[in-house]
Amino acid sequence: MLERKTLSNGLVKLIPLLKEDYEWVYAAASDPQIWEQHPDQRRYSPIGFTKYFQKLLAADLPYLILHEKTEQVIGATCFYQFDAAAKTVAIGYSFLKTAYWGGTYNQSVKKLMMDFAFEKVDRVLFHVRKGNVRSQAALAKIGAQEVEEYTAEDGKGIQVLYQIKKEDYQ
């Protein structure tokens, strides 16, 4: 299992998420534009967000994403599906406020997480819906490679599995 600890790099700080962080994360997530390419486009609403937040809390290691200098909540992310035997972990359920879109912040978050993950695993996985072109472009920027397409667990749509192998990670 991955150790529960804070990760930071001068631009962002990732703090292990607690159920008491609900209001802070909801305030950051309440913009419909964030969710327009996600399967549940209602995540900006109280009902949609509550389902999302419960998934975050159930993950192996959920994180609150803070802007390092202002300590304002700018998003959330998590590690999930940690498999010690296969030496894999997935990163996902991630979002950033729209003011932080464009690469620098996402790349910074993913670098922190991959640096941490590659201490324990050999592959980091990412699951993205086929129509989520923003997330797919963001994964391309960090060097993730498409592995396969498959039917989503809910049976609605196609998921794309991406990976970054430890030996390919820079």
Mean pLDDT calculated for residue range 34-45: 81
Residue 161 has which token pair?
Answer: 């599995």
pLDDT for position 118: 96
Question: Quick check: 33 pLDDT over 80?
Answer: yes
pLDDT for position 23: 96
Q: Which three-class secondary structure string do you get for the chain?
A: CCCCCCEECCCEEEEECCHHHHHHHHHHHCCHHHHCCCCCCCCCCHHHHHHHHHHHHHCCEEEEEEECCCCCEEEEEEEEEEECCCCEEEEEEEEECHHHCCCHHHHHHHHHHHHHHCCCCCEEEEEEECCCHHHHHHHHHCCCEEEEEEECCCCCCEEEEEEEEHHHCC
Least confident of 12-16, 23-27, 141-145, 155-159: 155-159
pLDDT for position 157: 84
Contacts of residue 95, defined as CB under 8 A and 6 or more positions apart, other chains included, come to 28, 29, 34, 35, 75, 76, 77
Q: Which three-class secondary structure string do you get for 54-66?
A: HHHHHCCEEEEEE
Question: Quick check: 103 pLDDT over 80?
Answer: no
Residue whose structure tokens are 């609900």: 22
pLDDT for position 4: 93
Q: Who wins on pLDDT, 157 or 80?
A: 80
Residue 73 has which token pair?
Answer: 């909540």
What domains sit in the chain, N to C, each tagged with a CATH number? 7-122 (3.40.630.30)
Distance (Å, whole) CA 109 – CA 93: 13
Question: Quick check: 69 pLDDT over 80?
Answer: yes
Instruction: Please give the mean pLDDT across all residues of the chain.
Output: 92
Question: Quick check: 120 pLDDT over 90?
Answer: yes
Least confident of 6-15, 121-130, 150-159: 150-159
pLDDT for position 39: 74
Neighbours of 51 (CB within 10 A): 12
Q: How confident is the model at residue 48 (pLDDT cuts 50, 70, 90)?
A: confident
Q: Report the DSSP pairing between strands 123-129 and 158-165.
A: antiparallel
pLDDT for position 134: 86
Phi/psi for 53 (5° steps) reads -65, -40
pLDDT for position 8: 96
